[in-house]
Amino acid sequence: MTWPRVLSALENRGHLKPTWGSLLRIGGWCIVGLVIIALVVPARPGDPARSPYRAQLSSPTVFEIGAPRGDERGFYPSPRSNNQFQIAWVAGSSIQGVDPERRTFLPAELQHQLHTIDGQEVTIDIYFLSGMRIIDELGAVMKAIDSNPDMLVVTLNPLWVLNDRAIQGWDNLDGQLVIGAATSPATWPLLLSVVSPSDILWASAGVRINVFEDRYHWGVKLKDRFGDWSPLEIQPRHDPSEEPSELAQVAAMQIPVFFWDKYDNIVSDDVQGTDRQAAAFKYAADSQSPTARAALRSLLDQINESAIPTYLYLAQYDDEIVAQPVVDQALDTVEDDLAEITAGYLSDLMVIRSESAIRAVGDMDFRDAIHVYDVAPLTEHLYSELCEFTRSQGWEASCGG
């Protein structure tokens, strides 16, 4: 057995006696080592200018700050300046304009019109993750609150807000959940269901020791330097039309919901197109997920406790699909549930629009159930909404008349 041999060697050659005292000394030296590391290794908060979506952001003061999958920092908030009015906007892909000729982000388009508030230039950090689910929104809101913005905008996706099919898509935000929930005991039951002991340990250690918080950064650096070397090269020699095996297809799925959608059918395979989307939406509305509701309540609690002025709204859903009575009814259910859950949170500081934006905006050109080609109609709608909100907060904004 190895350990007696190792201990004997240490006892004989290193004069180490395994006693409680020696264990304490080892622990003490480990702490000293960590303190030195914390002092010596600089923080690596991530650079929002390196966003893959930079070219789609038409305003220089709007930043998409989502980190790549696996990066425990979650988001890279932009540097804060005193003479700027900072909006933190938490949203998934529903705020994207997907016109292939001109891909855009709704907040960037909006900033062109709403460029000053309270005499200060508006900057927007978009806490954006593609496929953002309700627990991801909670993590993002926690991180956003931590950066102390002047105002918060939260976009909820009607398909996913109360859907128990996938309540989380980005588990690299677990550390944010730990930090954000530390002072909110009401969030702990949800938190303990989602995060793991190592998330708690890493997040707690990362508060004081940058290298733990930034471990993704260092991991990538190490991988680039040492962990990626092979004299062999990969040159695809297979026919790309050759279909991979079913198991390989499962292995290639990036998130579990793809698997459940394919194999744990809520809709028959025969149903396709908008009918399929309608059925999926009906499932979302009917699922009555206690977990998603708990996450939504935690999100609202966090905002409430932060006292940051917040505008929260339910994103658009394809009006052609909503025209189907079954979907209209499902959307009604989601809106009613949202209104019921959020009722206790309405205040001067928090405006909540539990009706989907499609109800107010009307006809839009959708690529699929959620994504619009052109965000202009939504921009107009939210411009007017946010102008009203800023007025209600007593701020002067560049809102025309």
For other proteins, the binding residues (CB under 8 A) are 1-4, 6-7, 10, 18-20, 22-23, 26, 135, 164-169, 171, 193-194, 196-198, 200-201, 222, 226-238, 245-247, 250-254, 256-257, 259-260, 263-264, 289-292
What is d(CA 225, CA 242) in angstroms, rounded to the nearest whole number? 34
Q: How far is the CB of 139 from other proteins (least distance, A)?
A: 13
Amino acid symbol at 382: L
Q: Could you say which DSSP state residue 310 is in?
A: E
Q: Which is nearer to other proteins, 162 or 312 (CB)?
A: 162
Which of 53, 216 has the CB closer to other proteins?
216
- Beta carbon nearer to other proteins, 22 or 81: 22
CB of 370 to other proteins, least distance (A): 20
Between 294 and 300, CB nearer to other proteins: 294
Q: How far apart are CA 92 and CA 331, in angstroms?
A: 19
Single-letter residue type at 134: I
CB 370 within 8 A of CB 159: yes
- Specify the residue, 88 or 129, whose C-beta has the smaller distance to other proteins: 129
Residue 387's SS3 state is helix
Question: Structure tokens of 200?
Answer: 């708690």
Q: What burial class does residue 16 get, using C-beta atoms within 10 Å of its C-beta: 0-12 exposed, 13-18 middle, 19+ buried?
A: middle
Confirm if 117 and 396 have CB atoms less than 8 A apart.
Answer: yes
Contact 392, 348 (CB under 8 A): yes
Cβ nearer to other proteins, comparing 338 with 351? 338
Q: What is the DSSP letter of 68?
A: P
Q: Where are the beta strands (DSSP E) in 260-364?
A: 310-314, 350-356
86 by DSSP, 3-state: which? strand
Give least dist CB 274 to other proteins, A: 24
Minimum distance from residue 111 beta carbon to other proteins (Å): 33
**Residue 306 · residue 312 · CB < 8 Å:** no
Q: Which of 253, 346 has the CB closer to other proteins?
A: 253
Provide the minimum distance between the beta carbon of 210 and other proteins in the complex, in angstroms, as a whole number. 19
Our CB check for other proteins shows the closer of 286 and 374 to be 286
Min separation Cβ 326 and other proteins, Å: 22
Identify which of 360, 347, 357 has the alpha carbon closest to the alpha carbon of residue 389: 347
Measured at the CA of 396, the angle between CA 393 and CA 399, to 5 degrees, comes to: 110
Instruction: Tell me whether residue 304 is exposed, middle or buried, using C-beta atoms within 10 angstroms of its C-beta: 0 to 12, 13 to 18, 19 or more.
Output: middle
Report in angstroms how near the CB of residue 384 gets to other proteins at its nearest: 36
- Closest approach of Cβ 290 to other proteins, in Å? 5
| In the complex, least distance from residue 306 CB atom to other proteins, rounded to whole angstroms | 26
Report d(CA 118, CA 23) in Å as an integer: 58
